[in-house]
Amino acid sequence: MNSYLAAAIQMTSLPDLKKNLAQAEELIELAARQGAKLVALPENFSFLGTESYKVAHAALIASESEQFLKTMAQRFQIAVFGGGFPVPVDAHKVYNTALLIDPNGQEVCRYQKVHLFDVDLPDGNTYRESSTVMAGTQKPSVYADKDLGNLGLSVCYDIRFPELYRHLSHMGAEILLVPAAFTAYTGKDHWQVLLQARAIENTCYVIAPAQTGQHYALRQSHGHATIIDPWGVVLADAGDMPGVAIAEIDPARLEQIRRQMPSLKHRVFF
């Protein structure tokens, strides 16, 4: 693993596939021009609208999203992580799928979100992700890249389940990817502290691209796309507007922290 710049993209995705991909392209180019070698897009980067429309048009969204990721990776010669888009299972359900593409435009890792957001929030909003999404059945993957390090994949609501990240760290993860569309209500209290906790307890970098702002009448996201180091220090925060958070992923820093705080070696319960 070499030292490199990573970028966590922040978007306000809409119920409009073409507009979302145009926004994503602009932000990817901005990150690439600043030297980022790994660019991560948030959950729902290509579409954020009603569940019924998403399922009805899932095949088109999936096809366009996948081709877009491969094209961007090839064009800018970077690794691109698409943090979540619908891939149809049948006429009624999709997988919430995250895809990692290498600089040659080849898919190298795929993850289907396992924890689904079925929650009744105190602000009156109700979310039932399982009504249209099928939970993934495979354990989350770690992709070992000689230049970028060992990348552990996850999506949004997964961040509330520390055992998932223990699994990833046990499998050798050094960088945790946490793309999200965190709600405005939960994000203000939980987003940053959860990301910092996962970074600290696993002594890993965390790259967390995010959705922000108003997407449609019933959906608003928290923002604050973030990159955090293995000590829990916030290296970059995109605030609450569309943009890019960029920071260095430094293997020497990772090694130093793991040497000084070797908690992963001191685990008793597995």
pTM of the model: 0.97
* Residue-level pLDDT at 7: 98
Number of domains in the chain: 1
The CATH number given to whatever domain includes residue 142 is: 3.60.110.10
Q: What pLDDT sits at residue 36?
A: 98
C-alpha closest to that of 66 among 17, 135, 11? 17
Catalytic residue among 37, 54, 70, 113: 113
Residue 174 is among the residues annotated as catalytic for this protein: no
Active site residue 156: yes
Q: Are 39 and 245 in contact (CB under 8 A)?
A: no
Q: List, for the chain, all residue ranges whose pLDDT scores fall below the cut of 70.
A: none
51 is an active site residue: no
Token output for 20 = 């979302």
Given 43, 64, 66, 174, which residue is catalytic? 43
Q: Give residue 214's pLDDT.
A: 92
* pLDDT score of 201: 97
The tens digit of pLDDT for each residue in 203-242 reads 999 999 999 999 988 789 999 999 999 999 999 999 999 9
Please name which of 129, 160, 157, 140 lies closest in space to residue 48, comparing C-alpha atoms. Answer: 129
Q: Which of 37, 70, 156, 204 is catalytic?
A: 156
Quote the domain boundaries for residue 114.
4-266
Type and span of the H or E element at 110? strand 107-112
Query: Are the beta carbons of 221 and 181 closer than 8 angstroms?
Result: yes
